[in-house]
Amino acid sequence: MTNDLLARLADLDAAPRRTPSAQETDREETLLRTILDDSERPGRSVGATFRRPLVRRLSFTAAGALAAGLALVAVNGGLPGLGGSGPLSSSELASWTGTAKSVDVAAARGSAAGKWCLDVNGTGAEPVISNADLRGKVASMVVTRGDVSAYCLAGSDGGTSMGISPVRQQPDGHIKVDTLGSRGSGDEELNYVVGWAGSDVKGITVRDHGHTTEATIEDGRFTAWWPDGDPDGAITGTVTLHLADGSTHTVKGDTLLG
């Protein structure tokens, strides 16, 4: 086979000419999730790979099922936003605290982490920041521009961001998981979970890999992250809901994965 023929055949090869960047991989995964979400097939779990970590996009209903110690799993639809990835150092992750310090919107916008999160999540509509908190040296927040939202975690020099769906109102005693997973590796690995909560859900506690994390809840959305969890992004411990009537309900985290 001549070199000329090989060169012509190479032009027809559909394989990428280079390894996709982290941001390109995230965008490809976002498009895939959007297509799968539009299929509206109930009872089907969707998985996708972000580089090494496995990210599952699931729903979890907690009400009578939680009282019985069960979880109901279904596919969550919606159009996620777009994001990118950057470094979070091991020293920043080591500063993590289970109970977050609340950060107001003005402080979040003015911080180095807030500016990174705003810059990495595009331009256009005026950004709205919610669920802003600080755990040690790492700030996290939800950035929404129009109908596109992203969950962002950032330190002094960079961070990580992933697309999430708009808030969906939940009945009392219910939560739904929008997305959960992991980013990084080794001592730079972190886990996160993002979802929605009914108005009577006053607290959500995630216990995983020896870490106890109190989620940040604002306007029907909850967010939480912790270092050194399951590298595949699963919650292998438990999730506890604290309701307005003083009751609590606990479910094993692995039931979130179907």
Amino acid at 156: S
The pLDDT score that the predictor gives to residue 254 is: 79
CA 63 to centroid of chain Cα atoms: 23
The pLDDT score that the predictor gives to residue 123 is: 79
The pLDDT score that the predictor gives to residue 122 is: 80
Structure tokens at 256: 């979130």
Q: Look up the pTM and report it.
A: 0.71
pLDDT tens, the chain, 258 aa long: 556 665 565 555 555 555 555 555 555 555 555 444 443 333 222 222 222 333 433 433 333 333 333 222 222 322 233 334 456 999 999 999 999 999 999 999 999 999 999 998 887 889 999 999 999 999 999 999 998 999 999 998 889 999 999 999 999 998 989 999 999 989 999 999 999 999 999 999 999 999 999 999 999 999 999 999 999 999 999 999 999 999 999 999 877 655
* Secondary structure (DSSP) of 32-83: HHHHHHHT--TT--EEEE-SSSEEEE-EEE-SHHHHTT--EEE---S-----
* Secondary structure (DSSP) of 116-147: HHHHHT-SSSPPEEEEEEEETTEEEEEEEETT
Cβ proximity of 173 and 201 under 8 Å: yes
| Count, residues in the chain | 258
The pLDDT score that the predictor gives to residue 9 is: 59
